[in-house]
Amino acid sequence: MSNYSTNILIVDDTKANLISLEAILEGENLKILSASNGNDALKILLKQKVDIVLLDVQMPGMNGFEVAELMRANNKTKDIPIIFITAINKEEEYIFKGYELGAVDYLYKPISNEILKSKVKVFVKLNEQTKIIEEKTRALEEKITQLEMVEKKLNHLIRIDELTGVFNRRAFEEIFKLEWARTIRSNGFFSALMIDIDNFKNFNDTYGHLKGDECLKDVAKIIEKTLRRITDQVARLGGEEFIVLLPETDSDGAKLIAEEIRKNVENLKIVNEGVDTSKFVTVSIGISSVAPTRDIEKKEFIDCADKGLYIAKKNGKNRSYV
């Protein structure tokens, strides 16, 4: 026996017919509802879950076809299968009318118990299968939603630097490739800032690794805060080195942003004693700017920022160099 009960509504204006139909269908794993006219039938249909309707055609007031027509006009009832019960002979015109209303079957009076039972059984089975499929579909949809959420989280995690929350090297490679290609198409400028914390070994040795980690987080945060355009992106390449990508930005613009970052870090006033250049944590920044073409290697562009960083360090740190 199935877990799904099927509700059948029997509509007939003749009380004796209702009783005999109920008796025939008893014991078929059905919940039987009944109505003796079209109005009552529609009331029940709107209030309760009904899976099949056994519908007498000849009734005073609203006849079976009219009930069916109203059912088809209502979203809640329009898909419920109907078995018409009719004394009318199998005149094609009537059958055709019924099918146009979405009727699914006909029973002719006098009704054969066996035919009634077997026809109802077919619809019960169909109803149960539909319910099983619906339930499985729901469960699958739920699983898919869960998986999509996991996928989203994973995609985020593999792109983020765990310590600072900015992009990691993997994400940087992706973003850089994309923005570089985009800038080639738009004939614009592209700039990058290679940022390295000055004397960070001294900071770690003096205050410990935990304080070092805190410092890295603070520097990452202040870089993020300084960037204004949504296309400006920062990534931690490793250690105490960050890269900032500035699409559609020329060297003047890049220099301005680099200096702003440099000053903002200095203004954090994170003490780094025992250093001759400054008694606070500072950064040096190498700037690379270019109007990218297909002939320029991405690597050259990054190398150029690296060289700028090297010169900024050599010139005394806490400075930027284009």
Please choose, out of 94-102, 114-122, 131-139, 199-207, the segment that lies near ligand GH3 by the rule CB under 6 A.
199-207
Beta carbon nearer to ligand GH3, 43 or 209:
209
Q: Examine the residue annotation and report whether 240 is marked as an active-site residue of this protein.
A: yes
The residue count for the chain = 322
Pick between residue 151 and residue 213 the one whose CB is nearest to ligand GH3.
213
Nearer to Mg ion by C-beta: 156 or 314? 314
Q: Closest approach of Cβ 167 to ligand GH3, in Å?
A: 16
- Count CB neighbours of 314 within 10 A: 10
Record the tokens describing residue 119, joined without a space.
């026809």
Alpha carbons 259 and 13: distance in angstroms, whole number: 90
Which residues, numbered 284-313, are part of the site for ligand GH3 (CB under 6 A)?
313
- 273 binding ligand GH3? (CB under 6 A): no
Q: CB within 8 A of 262, min separation 6: which ones?
A: 282, 283, 284, 285, 318, 319, 320
Q: What is the DSSP string of 102-128?
A: T--EEEESSPPHHHHHHHHHHHHHHHH
Binder of ligand GH3 out of 84, 123, 200, 321 (CB under 6 A) = 200
**Of residues 131 and 313, the one with the C-beta less far from ligand GH3:** 313
216 makes contact with ligand GH3 (CB under 6 A): yes
How many alpha carbons fall within 13 Å on the CB side of residue 175?
22
CB of 9 closer than 8 Å to CB of 41:
yes
- Cβ pair 199, 266 in contact under 8 A: no
Is residue 314 involved in binding ligand GH3 (CB under 6 A)? no
User: What DSSP state is assigned to residue 77?
Assistant: T
- For residues 9 and 33, the answer to whether their CB atoms sit within 8 Å is yes
Does residue number 161 form part of the binding site for ligand GH3 (CB under 6 A)?
A: no
Of 212, 247, 286, 308, the residue at the interface with ligand GH3 (CB under 6 A) is 212
- The residue written with tokens 């990534």 in the block is 235
Query: Which residue in 49, 125, 153, 201 binds ligand GH3 (CB under 6 A)?
Result: 201
- Toward ligand GH3, which CB reaches closer, 212 or 286? 212
Q: Which is nearer to ligand GH3, 136 or 209 (CB)?
A: 209
Who contacts 306 (Cβ-Cβ below 8 Å, separation ≥6)? 194, 286
13, interface contact from ligand GH3, Mg ion, none, CB < 5-8 Å by kind: Mg ion
Helix intervals (H) in the chain = 15-25, 38-47, 64-72, 92-100, 113-157, 169-186, 200-207, 209-226, 251-267, 298-314
Task: Give whichever of 153 and 274 is closer to Mg ion, judged by the CB atom.
Answer: 274
Task: Answer whether 31's CB lies under 8 Å from 39's CB.
Answer: no
Q: Least separation, in Å, of the C-beta of 224 and ligand GH3?
A: 17
Task: Please state the closest distance from residue 161 (CB atom) to ligand GH3, in A.
Answer: 9
Residue 264: contacted member of ligand GH3, Mg ion, none (CB under 5 to 8 Å, by partner type): none
What is the CB-side half-sphere exposure of residue 220 using CA atoms within 13 A?
A: 24
Residues in CB range of 219: below 8 A, 6 or more apart: 197, 240, 242, 265, 268, 281, 283
Contacted entry of Mg ion, ligand GH3, none for residue 51, CB cut-off 5 to 8 Å set by kind? none
231 to 260: interface string for ligand GH3, x by CB under 6 A: --------xx--------------------
Chain residues binding Mg ion by CB under 5 A are 13, 56, 58-59, 196-197, 200, 240-241
Of these residues, 162, 224, 240, 259, which one is catalytic?
240
Contact residues for ligand GH3, defined by CB under 6 A: 196-202, 204, 209, 212-213, 216, 239-240, 313, 317
Q: Which residues are catalytic?
A: 240
